[in-house]
Structure 1
Amino acid sequence: MRAIRQWSRFGRWADKSARPELVEGRAVGCSWFDRLTTSVGTDIGAQQTRPLPAVRAVIVVLALGASVWARPAGGASGNGAELRLQGSVEPVRSHPVIVPRLTGPGTGTLVIVHLVKPGTRVKRGDLLIEFDRQAQIKTAHDREAEYRDFMEQINRKRGEQLTARAHGEAEMKIAENAVKSADLEVLKNEIVPPVTAEQNRLSLDEARAKAEQLRRTFELRRKADAADIRALEIQRDRALNPWKHAWSNADKMRVVSPMDGMVVLKSTWKNGTMGEVQEGEEVRSGLGIMDVIDSSAMQVRARVNQADVSALRVGQGARITLDSYPARTFDGRLEQLSRIGAISTMSNRVRTFLAVFSVQGSDPHLMPDLAAAIDISGDRR
């Protein structure tokens, strides 16, 4: 009876205020504890006044086992899905809009003068964004004036060359006639005095030399005229290229929609924070500032761990829930699954695979970059 009273005192520290963690396990181990104390009570009371450590350990294990047994089973989602993935919503068809890259000097940054509001529905050809084009238009007008001036110079030079060419051809014709006349005079040498015959021969040689000189001079003048025209044409082309580039830059600075859809602005790094661009701000060339998306067809892109990829098959059904709108759920289907995994940034031994799920139907809440949960059941096909 002494041992039983001692064990009864030992049992008092199992009260809720003293050991709360053993309250749930006390009921489970109560009957086993009574049998144990009855069988060993006499020996224990004779040797020690405190319970054995082994008995304590058994009681703690029973209490923990009872608490674990009472908890609900983990690893399965509330809707019975075997696998849950996290991904982001993206459009099936989209067209990025970037700041145009201009040709020529001084085209590093551009100033926005008109920007369509995000969420606006646009048609093909509608204006999306316009940059300050005044400098490019002024350059285009200046280069156009230079181009037209050189064109006038070329036309004037060609007119002068035509006049000089006609004059040269007339001189050559006179020289040729002089050669023919002198040749006829030489034919009279047999009936004229020797002195006259010698003069006729000298006159013929002089006429031939003059005609040859005029012919060579005429050819050299024509080459010089062609060189003058070519020099003016080069200057004209030098003015034409900047003119074309300036008008091309001005056209690029007015961006229109390439398709029907909705405007979604991108967040960019500016002034040390992330934000959307606004009218009046300067942006650099090549920066992506918005997307025109087709909101009628959306999909969800997710990364799958290498331990879960074996449970996925192309064509498998899924249930998609938007994290921002838990009440919005959609039926989906696995359309693409990458065959080669990407190496994780944390470890070379861990790989992730890319999965793309199509979303059935359309909803105004389906917006790009929204987080979504993908629940996949093994029996969905």
Structure 2
Amino acid sequence: MERSLAIGPGCRAAAAAAIGLTWLTVAPAAQPRAASPFRLHGTVEPIRSQLVTVPRLTGTGFGPLIIIHLAKPGTLVKAGESLVEGCRAAAAAAIGLTWLTVAPAAQPRAASPFRLHGTVEPIRSQLVTVPRLTGTGFGPLIIIHLAKPGTLVKAGESLVEFDRAAQIKTAHDREAEYRDFIAQISKRRADQIVARGRDETELVEAENAVKTAELDLLDKDLVAPIVAEKNTLILEEARAKVAQLRKTFDLKRRTEAAEVRILEIQRDRALNAWKHSEGNADKMRIASPLAGLVVLKTIWKQGSFGEVQEGEEVRPGMPILEVVDPSAMRVRARVNQADVTRVRVGQPVRVTLDSFPSRQFTGRLEQLSPIGSPSGLSNKVRTFIAVFSIDGSDPHVLPDLAAAVDVDVK
């Protein structure tokens, strides 16, 4: 049974509860707000469309159909034109071919300007990375001076400096080793001169002994046979000693030359290590290769992304900053494969910065890649890299800013 709802000023609470009436209190209505425009977001959809599905065949015993012809996506078709053609391999003769038609397609759109989105980048720039030191045993480097971001620097001006104490110490150690090897070579050569003189003296004495033995052997007929045989043995011994001394003399000279050569190789290695250490010390200061604007690079550090700062440790090869020439900028954007035929090199464009929408710049298409690359959403859709120049220079045009490029299609 339905219960009525009543609102009345004369009913008491008890009577209202007895008869089932309900009291309602209405708050004062809010004042209507002033009319103002507002924005809604939606999705574009066609007014006329026709969904094409796989046909349902009459009868029994029919399974999946095999598509042998399919219209390419994006193709403009006319009414009655074939879209898809399929047959079942086991009963192609029974079912024949299936033709599908769609409603008339919309007329191709007229040429109109379209917009591309890209990123501002410098035409001339130089990336500065942590230097790679020659040699072994080098760990992270500590930054002791770093140019502030947004600073205009001149060519040759200091950008970043690292702590070079370890490199200077290594250079001094290598220099000491080099000079020690030079002293060793000088001492070894002096010792070899003394040893050569001693060997030459010993060889001369042995040769004199041979001559003396030969003279003693001349009067063998005048002496006792035992004395003559003794002189013969002395002569043979003297000749053998001379032969041995001559042979060892050459071997000693070769050994001495090899010893000196080993020390010379060690000296050269110490010299190279010394020069490399000095070169590493010189690498601790990086000067700007060109005049431009300092832009710090964002790196991964301590679990998050951030810019490097003075006092932090960095590893060789890590990018620190970039010096860009602010006088010449360009915009790099991607062109969809459906619009690539609408652009050409030299085509005029208008560039608008998303950060400064009130500023517009003129430019033109400088480069267009001849080969497309797959997009991030689909491997079937290709995009082409386009590079647009910006006429003139402006302090608001900075690297990595988002920009919109309006292409005039005529």
Q: TM-score, normalised by structure 2?
A: 0.67
Give 2:280's aligned amino acid: N
Paired with 1:159 and 1:295, the residues of 2 have a C-alpha distance of: 66
User: SS in structure 2 opposite 1:168?
Assistant: helix
Q: Aligned pair in 2 of structure 1 residues 167, 190: CA closer, same or farther (>3 Å)? A: closer
Matched residue, 1:291: 322
Matched residue, 1:328: 359
Matched residue, 1:43: none
RMSD: 2.6
Matched residue, 2:153: 122
Spell out the pairing of 1:79-158 with structure 2 (5 A cutoff).
Answer: 82-158=113-189
Matched residue, 1:211: 242
User: SS in structure 2 opposite 1:101?
Assistant: coil
After superposition, the C-alpha distances for 1:66-102 in whole angstroms (9 at most, x for unaligned) are xxxxxxxxx99xxx96111111111111111011122
Q: Out of 198-207 and 357-366, give the one that drifted further.
A: 198-207
Spell out the pairing of 1:226-305 with structure 2 (5 A cutoff).
Answer: 226-233=257-264, 235-236=266-267, 239-305=270-336
Q: Is the 8 A contact 1:81 1:375 kept in 2?
A: no
After superposition, the C-alpha distances for 1:326-347 in whole angstroms (9 at most, x for unaligned) are 2322221111111111111221
1:315 aligns with 2:323: no
Matched residue, 1:370: 401
Paired with 1:261 and 1:172, the residues of 2 have a C-alpha distance of: 77
Spell out the pairing of 1:327-346 with structure 2 (5 A cutoff).
Answer: 327-346=358-377
Superposition deviation, residue 240 in structure 1 = 4.2
Q: Which has the higher contact order (CA 8 A, sep 6+)?
A: 1
After superposition, the C-alpha distances for 1:260-299 in whole angstroms (9 at most, x for unaligned) are 3222211222233332211111112211111122222211
Q: What is the percentage of aligned positions where both structures have the same residue?
A: 62
Give 1:345's aligned amino acid: G
Matched residue, 1:160: 191
Paired with 1:366 and 1:88, the residues of 2 have a C-alpha distance of: 11
Paired with 2:156 and 2:211, the residues of 1 have a C-alpha distance of: 75
Paired with 2:171 and 2:131, the residues of 1 have a C-alpha distance of: 18
Paired with 1:146 and 1:339, the residues of 2 have a C-alpha distance of: 59
Q: Structure 2: state its 5+ residue gaps.
A: 1-108
Q: Is the 8 A contact 1:335 1:358 kept in 2?
A: yes
User: SS in structure 2 opposite 1:146?
Assistant: helix
State how many pairs are aligned: 301
Superposition deviation, residue 122 in structure 1 = 2.6
Superposition deviation, residue 179 in structure 1 = 2.9
User: SS in structure 2 opposite 1:139?
Assistant: helix
Paired with 1:341 and 1:112, the residues of 2 have a C-alpha distance of: 42
Superposition deviation, residue 200 in structure 1 = 4.9
1:357 aligns with 2:375: no
Spell out the pairing of 1:32-71 with structure 2 (5 A cutoff).
Answer: none
Give 2:367's aligned amino acid: Q
Paired with 1:243 and 1:162, the residues of 2 have a C-alpha distance of: 30
Superposition deviation, residue 174 in structure 1 = 2.8
Paired with 1:258 and 1:194, the residues of 2 have a C-alpha distance of: 98
Paired with 1:260 and 1:184, the residues of 2 have a C-alpha distance of: 93
Q: TM-score, normalised by structure 1?
A: 0.71
Paired with 1:192 and 1:296, the residues of 2 have a C-alpha distance of: 114
Q: Aligned pair in 2 of structure 1 residues 206, 273: CA closer, same or farther (>3 Å)? A: closer
